[in-house]
Amino acid sequence: MYYLSTRNNELRMHSMDAIKQGISQEGGLFVPETIPKLSNRDFLELADKDYRSRAFKVLSSYLRDYSTEDLNRIIYAAYGKDNFDCPEIAPVKKLDDSLFIQELWHGPTYAFKDMALQILPYLMTYAVAKTGEDKEIVILVATSGDTGKAALEGFRDVNGTQIIVFYPNEGVSPIQKLQMVTQEGKNVHVAAVKGNFDDTQTGVKSIFTDGRFSKLLEDRGKRFSSANSINWGRLVPQIVYYVSAYTDLLKSNDLDPGEKFNIVVPTGNFGNILAAYYAKNMGVPIDKLICASNRNNILTDFIKTGVYDTRRDFYKTISPSMDILISSNLERLLFELCDRQDHQLRIWMGELNETGRYKLDGESLKMLQSILWGGSADEEQTLKAIRDTYRQYNYIIDPHTAVGKWVYDEYREETRDTKKAILVSTASPFKFPGDVLKAIKGMEYIQGKDDFQVLEALASVSGTKIPPGLSELENKPVLHQTTLAAGNMRQAIINFLELDG
Ligand SMILES: *Cc1c(COP(=O)(O)O)cnc(C)c1O
């Protein structure tokens, strides 16, 4: 199977090259030339298998140039009890007869990014070795909070790689920040960038497509790649858990074979929900993809009107990993919607770049609306969703998942659609203990408590232990203190990699 670019559909690449390179030279994103299909029989077979077998079924259908034996070895190493704290890897919990919640945060950094970033380093280093690459791979990451830590954990001390993470100075939660600035490893670099996530992501993207800068690296025996969800190697492992959720519900008889259901995804960069779109096209009987945004509700407006307009205020919210105005992976969906016309993508993305907006034609908008339903939750609504979910189900959700829950309720109310739904839970509530406790117990309860006292309090309210990776943060030394302006990201890379020596 070959990969093409959303801005050049004549391109033909193997998956290893697409994963190694991350983003296409002309700025487009890699997409598979066809979407593999799974049959009803495949799903029934997978229902009796474990997560690793399900992962093999999905990954082997996309990554055809990885050998069976090696792919199995990679999957075995990535999804096991050393790095995930439950054997199901991505367990599905039943809240009531029609609402299920899939917990995607049982990996080492307690957010769903681990689902892909625990395997990406293996996929990438394998690709590097097999393609005869002799350069050191430099992973550049822009993070809205969770990708950074997950990528650092995945790539730390991986031979033949360096990893550089840029996070927005004021845009991540205290725990997210602590997780990153205390990161150990001999190949890791972390810096705060003044500005918001979009500034950081735009900076990183412009470095990727800067031919002169790439040449400078090449001359020093290095090349860039990406661990952001623009990399196909990030997306394809995310398709697995949608297949896994469906087959789990087949096994428990909560769904009949072929029974349609909806998926609710708290969305930022559009990677997670795009993986659900691929799962749907592989044959998982997903009906609506419900796209939940926080106060940065550009996607809600887009789905309603077909106008993608970034000329608006940017808000910092209590669901920081969704504080994004430029959702990169939307480009991959649009490419499919307009029948893979790369010239159309060049026009839309060119307009976005130059004017900050673009507008879909009527046909494409209709297609978009047949697939997606969009809604958003503001801060008060997010807190209320946490509180209500706790009271109704005795189940604690984090602020990102809560945005999804609010929008799901809105969807039910507005459409009267009673199909079953799976809400994907993207982070452990322990990653955002202050806001979660505020929602459940009220502001007075957290006042005067520091971050770690708040963690203790949440543990006692929930009757569960603080995840070990978070409790240990209190005593870890800060190892990364760099703060810089977005304009100085190139210089920071030069310093980190000691390129001017
Ligand atoms: C990254 C993230 C999201 C958004 O996911 P996208 O794939 O960027 O849409 C939502 N919730 C949490 C907790 C995240 O870390």
291 three-state secondary structure = strand
Atom of ligand 1 nearest to the CA of 431: 13
- CA–CA gap between residue 389 and residue 196 (Å, rounded): 30
482 pLDDT more than 70? yes
Percent residues over pLDDT 90 in the chain: 93
Q: How far apart are the first and last CA of the chain?
A: 42
Summarize the confidence of residues 118-141 as an average pLDDT.
94
pLDDT digits (tens, 9 = 90+) for 245-265: 999 999 999 999 999 999 999
- CA–CA gap between residue 204 and residue 414 (Å, rounded): 40
Summarize the confidence of residues 10-31 as an average pLDDT.
94
Summarize the confidence of residues 158-170 as an average pLDDT.
94
- Angle made by CA atoms 352, 357, 363, in degrees to the nearest 5: 100
109 three-state secondary structure = coil
Atom of ligand 1 nearest to the CA of 400: 11
pLDDT digits (tens, 9 = 90+) for 82-120: 999 999 999 999 999 999 999 999 999 999 999 999 999
Sequence spans of domains, the chain: 92-107+233-429, 433-463
From residue 357, how far is each of 146, 326, 360, 439 by CA, in Å? 27, 10, 10, 36
Rg (CA), the chain: 21
197 pLDDT more than 90? no
Summarize the confidence of residues 1-16 as an average pLDDT.
96
Ligand 1: residues within 6 Å at CB?
111, 113, 146, 229, 266-272, 321-322, 400, 426-427
Summarize the confidence of residues 356-367 as an average pLDDT.
96
Buried b (16+ CB within 10 A) or exposed e, 353-377: eeeeebebeeebbebbeebbbbbbb
CA 147 – ligand 1 centroid, Å = 8
CA 36 – ligand 1 centroid, Å = 25
pLDDT for the residue numbered 40:
97
- CA–CA gap between residue 145 and residue 379 (Å, rounded): 18
pLDDT for the residue numbered 501:
63
- CA–CA gap between residue 159 and residue 100 (Å, rounded): 40
Alpha carbon 318 to chain centroid, angstroms: 17
CA 88 – ligand 1 centroid, Å = 21
CA 271 – ligand 1 centroid, Å = 8
The phi, psi pair for 99, rounded to 5°, reads -120, 125
- CA–CA gap between residue 445 and residue 455 (Å, rounded): 12
The phi, psi pair for 420, rounded to 5°, reads -65, 155
Mean pLDDT of the chain: 95
State the pTM of this model: 0.95
Which of 3.10.20.590, 3.40.50.12780, 3.40.190.10, 3.40.50.1100 is the CATH number of 92-107+233-429?
Answer: 3.40.50.1100
Pick the catalytic residue from 20, 113, 280, 420: 113
Residue located nearest, by CA, to atom 1 of ligand 1: 321
Q: Position 449: which residue type?
A: K
E runs forming strands in 33-114: 92-94, 99-103
Q: Position 82: which residue type?
A: D
268 pLDDT more than 70? yes
113 is catalytic: yes
Task: Name the H helices within 197-270.
Answer: 197-208, 211-219, 232-251
pLDDT digits (tens, 9 = 90+) for 378-394: 999 999 999 999 999 99
Q: How confident is the model at residue 124 (pLDDT cuts 50, 70, 90)?
A: very high
Quick one: which of 90, 125, 130, 128 has its CA closest to 111? 90
From residue 191, how far is each of 122, 145, 308, 407 by CA, in Å? 25, 12, 30, 34
Summarize the confidence of residues 434-457 as an average pLDDT.
94
From residue 5, how far is each of 15, 21, 58, 232, 338 by CA, in Å? 12, 12, 21, 11, 14
Atom of ligand 1 nearest to the CA of 401: 11
Contacts of 452 (CB under 8 A, 6+ apart): 471, 473, 474
Cβ–Cβ < 8 Å for 156, 117: no
Quick one: which of 487, 488, 454, 491 has its CA closest to 471? 454
pLDDT digits (tens, 9 = 90+) for 286-296: 999 999 999 99
Q: How confident is the model at residue 201 (pLDDT cuts 50, 70, 90)?
A: confident
- CA–CA gap between residue 307 and residue 61 (Å, rounded): 35
Cβ–Cβ < 8 Å for 382, 375: no
Alpha carbon 372 to chain centroid, angstroms: 18
- CA–CA gap between residue 487 and residue 172 (Å, rounded): 20
Q: What is the dihedral of CA 151, 156, 158, 161, to 10 degrees?
A: 70
Summarize the confidence of residues 445-465 as an average pLDDT.
93
- CA–CA gap between residue 318 and residue 429 (Å, rounded): 12
Summarize the confidence of residues 207-219 as an average pLDDT.
92
- CA–CA gap between residue 36 and residue 19 (Å, rounded): 18
